[in-house]
Structure formats: structure tokens, C-alpha cells
Amino acid sequence: MKAIIVEDEFLAQQELSWMIQQHSQISVEACFDDGLEVLKYLQNHRVDVIFLDINIPSLDGMLLAQNINQFAHKPLIVFITAWKEHAVDAFELDAFDYILKPYHESRIMTMLQKLEASAQQQSQPQNAAASSPQTVNLVKDERIIVTDINEIYYVEAHEKLTFVYTRREAYVMSMVISEFCSRLPEQQFFRCHRSYCVNLSKIREIEPWFNNTYLVKLRDLDAQVPVSRSKVKAFRQLMRL
């Protein structure tokens, strides 16, 4: 993988570059301390990942990421900053990860391992890649958690927020449920109610409910997920009822 570092603090730039070289096969092609210089570089060079500080001159990291997201080839973006409050904004830009300064070597190593695993998955033959686990970014305690979609059991709407439940964790996403569900594979996740979306592979029991609807019980969890009347027909077809 080819990478660039965008960081206006020289010592932090050097430290991150050293950690990348020590703990991964990622090649650091160049380092920058100015956002506009990065855009010029990317016009003629293709990279796989950008380690991007948020507070940089000329064009801050968030605006730079917005521009990069318009590219046909979108490099993975790992935000680096001293400010926790940028985490949600970083997630909304579909960042791969979010690293806080000062750096912790173990955290950097984990992030680099995930980057290389992602690159390996993308380089597999198409038929193999199609069967590989997909991921979605979830937010927990101002951190971005790259999560296998198979770990998600169900999703629940709470006004303009969406609660995402795995076996052991609950995540609160600052988006409506329809936006979040659009990131999940339709063949596996079913919008069974205007306020719920369920992972079909996690269903343990289907219980008849009032007005010819159903309550769905899930493996490993005590939660019950309703199937609305408008979704019953499609649900029966999917579950072969």
C-alpha cells in the first residue's frame, strides 16, 4: 500500500512515519504540512491511504477529505488529531479510522493491521471478495469502530438517531435509520418495521403477534423485534413461512 502523511507538526509527522515503517509494509511516499499541496500531489499520484491531520494550513483536514471523497479512486482516510470532538464529523466522511494524539504505539499497530487486512481483502479475486465479510463504521466513545456487518443483530430508530445492536455493544449513530440501513447488504438485513431493521441470519424464533403480524426473537439477545403489517408479506417470502 502507498500512503502519504499530512501533518504540520514535524515531530508528530516523523513519529508516525517511523511507526508505519516499523509495524507495516505500507510505503510512505510523501509527507505534507499543507492541504492545498496535497490536492496538487493527488492530481498526478495515486495513493491507497492518507494519514490526515485535521488542523493544517490552507485547507483543513475536513475540507480536504470532502474533496478527496469526490475522486474516482478514493484513498482510505485515517484522521489524526488532538481533538476528540471531531470524531463524529470524521465518521460522517466515512473515515477508515480516527487516531488521537499523542500517539499510542499499540493503537497505531492495531490500525495498521486493519489497513493491511482491508487491502488484502480488496486484492482477492472478485468471487472470493464477494463472500468476504463486509464492514461498517460505528461510533463508540468518540472512536470509530470498524465492525463486521455480521456482528450487527438489529437496528432501531430513535427520532434522528439510530441505535445499532451487536451481541455485546450498543452504538448510537447520528443519522436516520434509512441512511444507516442503506449501508447494509439487502440480502442479509430486512427493514421489518419503519423503526427496525433486522439481521435475518440472527433470527432464532418467529412468534405470531396481533393483527397477523410477528415478533422476532434473536439469538444471544433478549430483544424482540416487531414486523409491521406492511412488511408481513415480504417477511413471509423471505423466511418461507
CATH number of the CATH domain containing 229: 2.40.50.1020
Residue 135 lies in a domain: no
C-alpha Rg value of the chain to the nearest Å: 21
| Confidence category of residue 128, pLDDT binned at 50, 70, 90 | very low
| Confidence category of residue 129, pLDDT binned at 50, 70, 90 | very low
Residue 142 lies in a domain: no
Grid cell for residue 51: 494519514
Residue 33 lies in a domain: yes
pLDDT of residue 109: 92
**Neighbour-count burial of 107, counting CB atoms closer than 10 A to its CB (0-12 exposed, 13-18 middle, 19+ buried):** middle
pLDDT of residue 86: 56
- Taking only the tens place, the pLDDT of each residue in 134-175 is 888 898 887 888 899 999 999 999 988 999 999 999 999 999
Same domain, 102 and 8: yes
Residue 101 lies in a domain: yes
Grid cell for residue 212: 397477523
Residue 29 lies in a domain: yes
Q: Is 3 helix (H, G, I), strand (E, B) or coil?
A: strand
* C-alpha closest to that of 39 among 70, 82, 2: 70
pLDDT of residue 93: 66
Same domain, 17 and 108: yes
CA distance 239 to 206: 10
- Is residue 171 within 8 Å of residue 163, measured between CB atoms? yes
Q: Number of structural domains, the chain?
A: 2
Residue 71 lies in a domain: yes
CATH number at residue 114: 3.40.50.2300
| Confidence category of residue 127, pLDDT binned at 50, 70, 90 | very low
CA distance 100 to 227: 41
Instruction: From residue 7, give the alpha-carbon distance in Å to each of 53, 78, 120, 145, 229.
Output: 5, 12, 27, 23, 54
Phi, psi dihedrals of residue 194, rounded to the nearest 5° = -60, -20
CA angle 110, 113, 119 (to 5 degrees): 145
Same domain, 198 and 83: no
Asked if omega into 208 is within 30° of 0 (cis), the reply is no
Region 50-61 average pLDDT: 86
Same domain, 116 and 184: no
Residue 41 lies in a domain: yes
Average pLDDT score, the chain: 87
> Does pTM top 0.75 for this prediction?
no
Residue 105 lies in a domain: yes
Domain extent, residue 213, equals: 150-239
